[in-house]
Amino acid sequence: MYIRQECLLYFEELIQLQPDTKLELIFEAIDPQITAALSKLPVLSKFGPNPCDRESMLRSLIAKEVEGIKNYKTII
């Protein structure tokens, strides 16, 4: 005889109960400033190797400073 127990919490409910991380809170607060800063930067050349996403690069540099990461290899 098998007894099936119902789920106490579903995965979506668990995600909502998790506290936001430090980086998520920082990026939520400065998101408008990031987009404003990126709009003022000059557009990079379309020639050469594939260009990287500038917003991702900026966010990774901010995360590097917040988390105290010493080298770029750890970020990658």
Summarised one tens digit per residue, pLDDT across range 7-45 is: 777 778 777 777 778 888 899 899 999 889 888 887 766
User: How many Å apart are CA 52 and CA 59, to the nearest integer?
Assistant: 12
Nearest to 57 by CA among 48, 41, 68: 41
More confident: 52 or 74: 74
pLDDT at 52 over 70: yes
- pLDDT for residue 73 is more than 80: yes
Instruction: Tell me the CA distances in angstroms from 24 to 15, 19, 27, one per residue in order.
Output: 14, 10, 5
CA 37 from chain centre, in angstroms, equals 17
Separation of alpha carbons 48 and 62, rounded Å? 26
Residue 74 has pLDDT above 80, yes or no: yes
Contact 3, 23 (CB under 8 A): no
